[in-house]
Amino acid sequence: MGKNVQINSTYYQEKVLRPIFTEEIPFFYPNDCQRVKLQQDKTTSHTSKSTTAFLEKMKTDTGIAFIPFQHIPSKSPDISPMDYCAFGLFKRALSKRKPTTIDELWKVVEEERKSITLEILRKALLSWKSGCRIIVHKKGYKIKY
């Protein structure tokens, strides 16, 4: 996928969701797939009629459920400090440390959470206001932090 390419419903279903349902969840939860619930945000490619039908089919085929859209917060341009600060830190740590079990995953997340300093959080929160202004200027479109 090229830089600055928007993901459409077909791409999301085939390149993102299908591997999650058929490869990743069965790999990480070989005997517990039916206990997994997929959570996603309400971006357009996630909420389209075709994606909703795809999710229902995957649920029928695999037993893996998804959280209904009415239980998910409204669309956002990822302006939450969790989106642009904490989740990025967690993703970097997880890609470096590569936990292979749920217990290892939670251990890494907990260690990384403890390593986030007040200064890092302070900077993220202070940048929030200017980020909101940029999003207003861009008429609600997502921005890069």
| pLDDT one-digit tens code per residue, 8-43 | 999 999 999 999 999 999 998 898 888 888 888 788
Place of tokens 């085929």: 61
**pLDDT beyond 70 at 75:** no
Q: What is the DSSP string of 82-102?
A: IIIIIHHHHHHHHHHH---SH
Q: Give the pLDDT of residue 93.
A: 84
Residue 30 identity: P
Q: How far apart are the first and last CA of the chain?
A: 20
For 93-116, b/e burial (b = at least 16 CB within 10 A) is beeeeeeeeeeeeeebeeebeeee
- What value does the mean pLDDT take over residues 43-66? 93
